[in-house]
Amino acid sequence: MKERSNPLRCEHVTKVLENIYGKPLSLSELQTLTGISPSALYFTVLPQMQQLGLIEVTYTEGLHGSVRKIVNITEKGRKLLEALVEIRVQQ
């Protein structure tokens, strides 16, 4: 895969982790809830978060035999989100 020049933004990581905390979401649900542009979410944010071990992506059968990608938080992602929330509270 070609290396992307777009850096992973902390605000995007936080938005994704907050939205999938406790409830896995499909890509379209996640994009709608976070407001992150589809191209940034699909090609930069999620692949880099997956590479860092913050999320896991699974596949389920959707309507009419289609395949849905489901994004879920990992233990590492939970710990990072808790730290980010703690930092935000202290400010």
Query: For 32-67, what is each residue's pLDDT tens digit?
Result: 999 999 999 999 999 999 999 999 999 998 788 889
Q: How confident is the model at residue 9 (pLDDT cuts 50, 70, 90)?
A: confident
User: Residue 38 burial by CB count (10 A; 0-12/13-18/19+): exposed, middle or buried?
Assistant: exposed
What per-residue confidence (pLDDT) applies to 7? Answer: 67
Polymer length in residues for the chain: 91
pTM for this structure? Answer: 0.85
Determine the CATH number of domain 10-90. 1.10.10.10
Q: Residue 30 above 60 pLDDT? A: yes
